Structure 1
Amino acid sequence: MFPQHQPVTRRQLLATSACGFGSLALNGMLNSARANSPSVSHQNPLAPQEPMFPPRAKRIIFIFMQGGPSQVDTFDYKPLLASKDGEELEFKDSRKIAKTGGYGKEKVMQSLWKFRQYGETGHWVSDLFPEIGKQVDDLCFVHSMHTNGVAHGPSTLFLHTGTTNLIMPSVGSWVTYGLGTENENIPGFITISPSSSNGGPRNYSNAFLPSHYQGTALGRAAQPAKEARFNNVKNQQWSLARQRQQLKLLQSLNQSQLQSNQDDDELAAVVSSFELAFRMQQHAPGLTDLSGESKATFDLYGIGQPETDDFGRQCLLARRMAEAGTRYIQVNYADNGNTPRWDQHSKIQKHEIHAKASDKPVAGLIQDMKQRGLLEDTLIWWGGEFGRNPFKQGVDGRDHNPKGFTHFLCGAGVKAGFSYGATDEFGHEAVENKVHMHDMHATLLHLLGIDHERLTYRHAGRDFRLTDVEGRVVSELFS
């Protein structure tokens, strides 16, 4: 202890604190060694891992509606919008914070579509989604979502990685890092037809996690889904036996390199990727081959019908991957590099185009998963990066709204025919049982048997996690 009120010199401080600094440094090195232990990561990093506690789900299918579908035109029925249509009322609007302190008058705009009650629960669904409406008794709606970021780029990154601007691992990478894969012959994390914009590859990146946990892209948004397949899987020139000999030689050389470079994450990932690629020759081509599916299945997903064929194929691929044991599957209703699909700043009527393209395929996926018994251990998650405002932008559009919007869950571990949370009477801001995107991430991990506070990775001197220092498990959603 230094005497009270006596100045401490730099020399005294360093002399007194040296042991403490040394202890901190040693502890940091030990933690880093444990977190990045080559004895674990270099053997089979994607081997199935035991969850932290009994899981309710084994895998997740995330159906990403890029661009921000309007909650007040889809699943969040607000009759007051019709009675107040055209009236100028005061709203707290993020677009006007700089000019008015956050408040300004806006013209209320009613939904262009009628809402109807469906199922035994009587949940209100707009005429945009009649097929999903028939499934409401199996769905768990969260009407009180809110998130970070107002623009598509930051909010899309936040949805996928838990941050608006840092290079962080995506949800699927965290899941495979925590649980491994169920099937060693195919990737544990696959994203179908991802967009190249608004985050692009960062939305399925491993970031600083070992490279084994990078998502595998199948196709791309600008490409027809029928062309989405694993490229260059088969070697047409060499026999399987010859390739096995080549791989054995190559891996023996790689293993020698690993012995002298045990902390080389990228080299370790290359070694395991060669092994996975070899195994995929026998299994991956069949995974994306839909020719064996029945006509009834094609009809269920809308395959063969102009409006629904493309997204129907994506959803059917997702079912096949869930069946095969892929741990995290993302289906992207995404743009082709231009305007995000649900982003109607003018002509909100275009929501109808996107609803027609996705309604039947999503409903078909839910039905198909249910009748095959796959919903018992698979969680389906549907949603966009944010919602839209209940008032006009321009003549007939709606601007971004991160303050209150709807997602829904379906399947393993969540209540069926259930609604949670609420926005205000206009559908503008979440006001009851609010669920932040960090809370959604924490809840998803919990359903998989993972404690979001304990799923960490040490990088740059600190422990990182998907939910940063936030996140609440919304146990009220659990069955």
Structure 2
Amino acid sequence: MNELHDLEFASNRRHFLSKLSLGIGSVGLASLLTPSALFGKNTTPQPLMEGGALGKPHFVPKAKRVIYLHQSGAPSQIDLFDYKPTLTKMFGQELPESVRNGQRLTGMTAGQVSFPLAPSFYSFKQYGQSGAWLSEILPHLSTVADELCFIKSMHTEAINHDPAITFIQTGSQQPGRPSIGAWLSYGLGSDNHNLPAFCVLLSKGTGNTGDQPLYSRLWGNGFLPSLHQGVQFRAGKDPVLYLNNPEGMTQMTRRNMLDHLKQLQEMQLETFGDPEIITRIAQYEMAYRMQTSIPETVDLSKEPEYIFEMYGPDSRKAGTYAANCLLARRLAERDVKFIQLYHTGWDQHGDCVNQIKRQARDIDQPTAALIKDLKMRGLLDDTLIIWGGEFGRTNYSQGKLTKENYGRDHHPRCFTIFLAGAGVKKGFTYGETDEFSYNIAKDPVHVHDLQATLLYLLGIDHEQLIFKHQGRRYRLTDVHGKVVKGILA
């Protein structure tokens, strides 16, 4: 009899705890779809995931949004920004061992017995009041030199593309961590009820058509709820896959289907309490709203002629870097939090002279136009632009060196990126490399430092944006990173 009583008590206790946890799940669903409901505010529904996990930034942000122009394959700092006359004087001479100092090499040059110094084929000049050095193959960027904030002392531990790009985008060389955009979506939420907080655009460069591939995990959510993964926009009639209604389905039918599906999912939530069900409901609702917002956003037909002229002829070709830069401006106008562009083609191990000129032509005019366009519309003041790759290139030639051509291998010890817009100094250069552009001479900036600074400009303390997973507290910067205060306006 006592055993039966104990069983009945245990059953009731389990039932109570189960119902209690499911009640919490319902509160979670309500707060996700209408955050104000969680706080008992009798207001109109707020944008999806407004405030994110943080509720509000840790301090007043200087930037509302980020446009990250990632140049996949690693641009050569020596041929674009890091002017080194010493290399010209020492053309073809051996890189001093005291400079290389036994640095780890890739498998592509580890077998070389000679490391002949290869200066840039292209000439450099100083531009603007800041006197920034830029290569002759960047004539349009030279016109906005006084808007740019260069960091010439970036460095990373990764020496090969996949771990390096994974590292700069997720904070870890190993796959599986959330990307920067996913962290921002999780922490800060969305400012637009009808568009994702994190949008991704891809383009293929003309510099090296056999360049490294890109993987969707670079804009993935990792262990964060899947709602926070980047939404990829594609060229063509279906910019977001599976967004349009199937043939024969009306919008009303779609709405009715989603309403019934939501009821079924809420029943699942009540039974199992799986938080991913909440995410799924939110994703379906977002997809429904995007059916109207996405076609309007990607429709460039109403852009005036002078805008296309500003961005260049490729801006009329969907899927090009120029068209994606123009689309990035349209997404910024609509308050998308994190806009990620990937442009491939920078992996120039051979024929660097010709390949990098073609590649520079891809990005030069559109990047300058994006900066000018945002400034013209008053958006540059609260938009942070980041331009750069995953590491740099060597000052010595990979393979045979001639006066007409050379190749460059991977170089993680120093590389150049630039920023523009919200919160950073204009017409400013931070950090220096040695006379060979091989080692950092002043003010090193690690990848985690860049990530910490990016978060800071958005009002986030990088040490406090944390997600607990498998018993450990994770963050974008892992256990590293410091804000680079020297570049802050």
On whether the aligned pair clears a TM of 0.5, the verdict is: yes
**C-alpha deviations, 1:412-471, integer Å up to 9, x for none?**
111111110011111112221000000000000000001100000000111000000000
* Inter-partner Cα distance in structure 2 for 1:134 and 1:217: 31
Could you say which residue in structure 2 is the equivalent of 1:345? Answer: 349
* Inter-partner Cα distance in structure 2 for 1:237 and 1:101: 60
What secondary structure sits across from 1:89 in the alignment? Answer: coil
Could you say which residue in structure 1 is the equivalent of 2:170? Answer: 161
Could you say which residue in structure 1 is the equivalent of 2:215? Answer: 200
What's the offset of the Cα at 1:238? 3.8
What secondary structure sits across from 1:130 in the alignment? Answer: coil
Could you say which residue in structure 1 is the equivalent of 2:259? Answer: 248
What secondary structure sits across from 1:88 in the alignment? Answer: coil
Within the candidate set 183, 187, 191, 1:182 is matched to: 191
What's the offset of the Cα at 1:102? 13
* Inter-partner Cα distance in structure 2 for 1:148 and 1:323: 36
Give the direction of change, closer, same or farther, for the CA distance of 1:348–1:38 in structure 2 (3 Å limit).
farther
2:148 is equivalent to residue 139 of structure 1: yes
* Inter-partner Cα distance in structure 2 for 1:40 and 1:126: 53
Counterparts of 1:392-407 in structure 2, within 5 Å, are: 392-395=397-400, 396-407=406-417
Deviates more, 1:275-284 or 1:447-456: 275-284
Paired residue type of 2:259: K
What's the offset of the Cα at 1:43? 3.2
2:123 is equivalent to residue 114 of structure 1: yes
* Inter-partner Cα distance in structure 2 for 1:310 and 1:417: 28
Give the direction of change, closer, same or farther, for the CA distance of 1:41–1:309 in structure 2 (3 Å limit).
closer
* Inter-partner Cα distance in structure 2 for 1:181 and 1:375: 19
**C-alpha deviations, 1:57-99, integer Å up to 9, x for none?**
011000011101100110111111111111113223644599x
Q: TM-score, normalised by structure 2?
A: 0.83
2:372 is equivalent to residue 367 of structure 1: yes
Could you say which residue in structure 1 is the equivalent of 2:45? Answer: none
Kindly indicate whether the alpha-carbon contact (under 8 Å) linking 1:193 and 1:228 is maintained by their aligned counterparts in 2.
no
What's the offset of the Cα at 1:44? 1.8
Paired residue type of 1:184: H
2:37 is equivalent to residue 44 of structure 1: no
* Inter-partner Cα distance in structure 1 for 2:28 and 2:157: 35
2:89 is equivalent to residue 78 of structure 1: no
Paired residue type of 1:134: T
Could you say which residue in structure 2 is the equivalent of 1:284? Answer: 294
What's the offset of the Cα at 1:280? 1.0
* Inter-partner Cα distance in structure 1 for 2:241 and 2:275: 27
Kindly indicate whether the alpha-carbon contact (under 8 Å) linking 2:155 and 2:444 is maintained by their aligned counterparts in 1.
yes
Kindly indicate whether the alpha-carbon contact (under 8 Å) linking 1:446 and 1:473 is maintained by their aligned counterparts in 2.
yes
* Inter-partner Cα distance in structure 2 for 1:234 and 1:97: 46
Could you say which residue in structure 2 is the equivalent of 1:211? Answer: 226
* Inter-partner Cα distance in structure 2 for 1:160 and 1:426: 28
Give the direction of change, closer, same or farther, for the CA distance of 1:194–1:131 in structure 2 (3 Å limit).
closer
Paired residue type of 1:291: S
* Inter-partner Cα distance in structure 1 for 2:337 and 2:437: 34
Could you say which residue in structure 2 is the equivalent of 1:273? Answer: 283
* Inter-partner Cα distance in structure 1 for 2:315 and 2:253: 44
Kindly indicate whether the alpha-carbon contact (under 8 Å) linking 2:26 and 2:270 is maintained by their aligned counterparts in 1.
no
* Inter-partner Cα distance in structure 2 for 1:297 and 1:268: 41
What secondary structure sits across from 1:297 in the alignment? Answer: helix
Kindly indicate whether the alpha-carbon contact (under 8 Å) linking 1:145 and 1:435 is maintained by their aligned counterparts in 2.
yes
Could you say which residue in structure 2 is the equivalent of 1:58? Answer: 64
Could you say which residue in structure 2 is the equivalent of 1:22? Answer: none
What's the offset of the Cα at 1:103? 12
What secondary structure sits across from 1:249 in the alignment? Answer: helix
Give the direction of change, closer, same or farther, for the CA distance of 1:104–1:412 in structure 2 (3 Å limit).
farther
Within the candidate set 297, 309, 318, 2:328 is matched to: 318
**C-alpha deviations, 1:16-54, integer Å up to 9, x for none?**
xxxxxxxxxxxxxxxxx9xx9874466327422111110
Could you say which residue in structure 2 is the equivalent of 1:429? Answer: 439
Could you say which residue in structure 2 is the equivalent of 1:233? Answer: 243
* Inter-partner Cα distance in structure 1 for 2:279 and 2:376: 38
Could you say which residue in structure 2 is the equivalent of 1:29? Answer: none
Within the candidate set 75, 90, 106, 1:69 is matched to: 75
What secondary structure sits across from 1:82 in the alignment? Answer: helix
What secondary structure sits across from 1:160 in the alignment? Answer: helix
* Inter-partner Cα distance in structure 1 for 2:192 and 2:177: 26
Paired residue type of 1:324: R
Aligned positions, number:
432
**C-alpha deviations, 1:284-316, integer Å up to 9, x for none?**
111111111111001111135799982110101
* Inter-partner Cα distance in structure 2 for 1:324 and 1:174: 20
What secondary structure sits across from 1:468 in the alignment? Answer: coil
Paired residue type of 1:43: S
Paired residue type of 2:373: D
2:485 is equivalent to residue 475 of structure 1: yes
Give the direction of change, closer, same or farther, for the CA distance of 1:227–1:407 in structure 2 (3 Å limit).
farther
* Inter-partner Cα distance in structure 1 for 2:444 and 2:318: 34
Within the candidate set 274, 293, 298, 2:308 is matched to: 298
Kindly indicate whether the alpha-carbon contact (under 8 Å) linking 1:302 and 1:308 is maintained by their aligned counterparts in 2.
no
Deviates more, 1:302-311 or 1:60-69: 302-311
What's the offset of the Cα at 1:329? 0.6
Within the candidate set 269, 272, 283, 1:261 is matched to: 272
What's the offset of the Cα at 1:104? 7.9
Unaligned runs of 5+ in 2: 1-20, 34-47, 205-210, 401-405
Give the direction of change, closer, same or farther, for the CA distance of 1:385–1:93 in structure 2 (3 Å limit).
farther
Unaligned runs of 5+ in 1: 1-32, 220-224, 335-340
Kindly indicate whether the alpha-carbon contact (under 8 Å) linking 1:63 and 1:331 is maintained by their aligned counterparts in 2.
yes
CA RMSD of aligned residues (A): 2.6
Q: TM-score, normalised by structure 1?
A: 0.85
What secondary structure sits across from 1:408 in the alignment? Answer: strand
Kindly indicate whether the alpha-carbon contact (under 8 Å) linking 2:315 and 2:323 is maintained by their aligned counterparts in 1.
no
* Inter-partner Cα distance in structure 1 for 2:373 and 2:423: 18
Kindly indicate whether the alpha-carbon contact (under 8 Å) linking 2:25 and 2:275 is maintained by their aligned counterparts in 1.
no
Give the direction of change, closer, same or farther, for the CA distance of 1:94–1:39 in structure 2 (3 Å limit).
farther
* Inter-partner Cα distance in structure 2 for 1:324 and 1:427: 40
Kindly indicate whether the alpha-carbon contact (under 8 Å) linking 1:233 and 1:285 is maintained by their aligned counterparts in 2.
no
Could you say which residue in structure 1 is the equivalent of 2:5? Answer: none
Kindly indicate whether the alpha-carbon contact (under 8 Å) linking 1:302 and 1:309 is maintained by their aligned counterparts in 2.
no
Paired residue type of 2:303: E
